[in-house]
Amino acid sequence: MCRLKLWIPMIICIVTGSVFADPLIINVDGRQTLSLNGKWQYIVDPYELGYYDYRYKPDPNGWFKNAKPRNKWDRVEYSFDDSRLLHVPGDWNSQTDKLYYYEGTVWYKKDFDCHPEPGRRAFVYFGAVNYEAKVFLNGQPVGEHTGGFTPFNFEITPYLRDGNNVIVVKADNKRSREGVPTVNTDWWNFGGLTRRVMLIDVPETYIRDYFIQLEKGSADRIGGWIQLDGRDSQEPVLVYIPELNVTKVLHPDKTGRAGFHMQASPEPWSPDDPRLYTVRIVCGKDTVEDRIGFRRIETRDHDILLNGSPVFLRGICIHEQKPLGGRVSTEEQARALLTWARELNCNFIRLAHYPHNEYMIRLADEMGILVWAEIPVYWTILWDNPETYKNAENQLGEMITRDKNRASVILWSLANETPLEQSRLMFIKNLADRARALDPTRLLTAAMERHYIDSKTQMIDDPLGEVLDVFGCNEYIGWYDGLPSKCDSIEWRMTYKKPLIISELGGGALQGLHGDTLTRWTEEYQENLYQHQLVMLKKIPFLRGVTPWILMDFQSPRRPLTGIQDDWNRKGLISDNGQKKRAFRILKHWYDQLESRNKKE
Ligand code: GCB
């Protein structure tokens, strides 16, 4: 992009006081980057004293000196120093006791050296900041972002200095009624720079984004598009898949976009054979390499077809939660969760209730685990508020943009347990339209609810089912709804001829607490609950997948029961310190049986 093009929006932003993220750069691991991870200085600012007003010039060496004074006695004169440091990536709650329950603003600051070269462009990239981020480089506001679980980047070419640079981020995790999610959730509102931060260095014209997948319904046509960004946006682009021996030269239009199709016969990606191909894209001075798998995903009546054959999804729900506390922030922690899912013999995971870090999806691609990916449209958000919708749509767009080339992702989930209202239906319908426009190849779902039509019959007929490809349904028979034995006599009905996934079921157990099968919170109660649930699940004729709640205990402020919960939701099959509970074996046994039956067929 030419400098003038960059300055005009900047001037508008400074005048109007608003700045937005630039279009997302994908596949950051395939780029030239400088990590800004590590120790950052911080200041906790619960009263918003350091709130930056665009009319006042900040001083990067004493950030708060230039805070707008509220009156002449209220001049705040403290600054960053090395006595307070937070590790990035990481939430602040699990790094210091003082911030365990904190919700509000924390200012982060880091110094770094770099040597920008002429003819190159620089972006600062954040894997995620929960919930709102305002970013300043060398005293200039460079952008802001809302939404705690998706990546964003800002171009900083005009602000970057040769030598020392200072980056400051205002991270604010206050909950708000109009937010996505809203004020009420059942997970910890971990704050801060929870995912990696880096500078991305690209040529003047570079390959910003691309979509490369098998075309819907086809096993031998790879299709998609490439998006360039920069002055020479009509430069030819080469797409090359060496192992398939296919090459295509593309000529982008004035907006830098080029669509394409190519004939190829890739071996299909599947959990049994998660085959990934190297894909190389070259344009002028830019080359990006990715590892992409090719597979088909469709539905036929109640069936889910993977590469044309019916598949049963042996799944588990996962929160982005690490053992002993805190949000997952490294590849090793992500791998540990997926390794447990594998031990359970899962071929599927539901990444609840928001987009997880990119490591999870990349590892799922490598390990052959199918993925349900979700946005935090959770419970009772403000369906009628246009700003809330815009925010949800933006988070959906950022999730799809980042992960649309991952073969493991088969389902985009648009919501979890939302009430039956007309405004909610319109809201989620609009999200579905948006998702299909961005990605015509994947299936859409949501976790919905069901109701009793008599004491023994569960009915699935949420009108949202009309809009979606796969029906997700949460049920807690045996925990919030009667005793485990209630499952034995329940019959299920559904008005749609679509696949059903039971997207949650389960009950709480404190690992190591033992008793009889009717004593709540014991491992035996949970084990018995799973046994009865399986009896019921096996009888549901249109069931095509299950993701019990949940792989590991997770932190939640809604769970204060002393001596049992202590701020943890105990429905995990694995405890907060990594010990398997008895119910783990029950589910694994069923999944082993399902797998061997599948192999025989
Ligand atoms: C649900 C929610 C999930 C909760 C779970 C529970 O229905 O979807 O976010 O954590 O129940 O444990 O109550």
| Mean per-residue pLDDT, 63-67 | 48
Does the CB atom of residue 416 touch ligand 1 within 6 A? Answer: yes
Residue-level pLDDT at 16: 36
pLDDT digits (tens, 9 = 90+) for 323-377: 999 999 999 999 999 999 999 999 999 999 999 999 999 999 999 999 999 999 9
pLDDT value at 69 more than 60: no
Residue-level pLDDT at 20: 57
CA of 380 to the centre of ligand 1 (A): 13
Residue-level pLDDT at 28: 98
pLDDT digits (tens, 9 = 90+) for 218-265: 999 999 999 999 999 999 999 999 999 999 999 999 999 999 999 999
CA of 317 to the centre of ligand 1 (A): 11
pLDDT digits (tens, 9 = 90+) for 182-231: 999 999 999 999 999 999 999 999 999 999 999 999 999 999 999 999 99
**Nearest residue CA, atom 3 of ligand 1?**
186
Determine what percent of the chain is predicted with pLDDT higher than 90.
87
| Mean per-residue pLDDT, 110-139 | 95
CA of 387 to the centre of ligand 1 (A): 26
pTM, two decimals, is 0.94
pLDDT digits (tens, 9 = 90+) for 492-522: 999 999 999 999 999 999 999 999 999 999 9
- For residue 393 the two structure tokens come to 């749509």
pLDDT band for position 601 (cuts 50, 70, 90): confident
CA-to-CA distance for 175 and 170, rounded, in angstroms?
15
How far apart, in Å, are the Cα atoms of 522 and each of 311, 512, 519, 547?
A: 34, 8, 6, 22
Residue-level pLDDT at 138: 86
Q: Give one word for 182, left, alpha or beta, with left for phi > 0 and alpha for psi -120 to 50.
A: beta
Residue-level pLDDT at 66: 44
Residue-level pLDDT at 213: 97
Residue-level pLDDT at 63: 52
SS3 40: strand
pLDDT digits (tens, 9 = 90+) for 550-583: 999 999 999 999 999 999 999 999 999 999 999 9
Pairing relationship of beta strands 303-306 and 297-300 according to DSSP bridges: antiparallel
- Nearest residue to 44 (alpha-carbon basis) of 69, 3, 68, 80: 80
Please, what CATH class does the domain formed by 298-600 belong to? alpha beta
Ligand 1 atom at minimal distance to the Cα of residue 474:
7
More confident residue, 539 or 140: 539
pLDDT digits (tens, 9 = 90+) for 37-60: 999 999 898 877 775 443 344 444
Does the CB atom of residue 533 touch ligand 1 within 6 A? Answer: no
Statement: 28-203 belongs to CATH 2.60.120.260: yes
CA of 186 to the centre of ligand 1 (A): 6
Does the CB atom of residue 186 touch ligand 1 within 6 A? Answer: yes
Residue-level pLDDT at 504: 98
Domain spans of the chain, in order of start: 28-203, 217-295, 298-600
Ligand 1 atom at minimal distance to the Cα of residue 379:
8
- For residue 4 the two structure tokens come to 């003038």
Q: 2, 45 in Cβ contact below 8 A?
A: no
CA of 66 to the centre of ligand 1 (A): 44
Task: Please report which helix (H) or strand (E) contains residue 397, including its range.
Answer: helix 386-403
* Phi and psi at residue 402, to the nearest 5°: -65, -40
**Nearest residue CA, atom 9 of ligand 1?**
186
Does the CB atom of residue 354 touch ligand 1 within 6 A? Answer: no
pLDDT value at 65 more than 50: no
**What angle is formed at CA 46 by the lines to CA 40 and CA 49, rounded to 5 degrees?**
85
Ligand 1 atom at minimal distance to the Cα of residue 569:
12
Determine what percent of the chain is predicted with pLDDT higher than 70.
92
Does the CB atom of residue 549 touch ligand 1 within 6 A? Answer: yes
CA atoms within 13 A on the CB side of 189: 24
SS3 335: helix
Task: Please report which helix (H) or strand (E) contains residue 225, including its range.
Answer: strand 221-229
| Mean per-residue pLDDT, 578-601 | 94
CATH number of the structural domain 217-295: 2.60.40.10
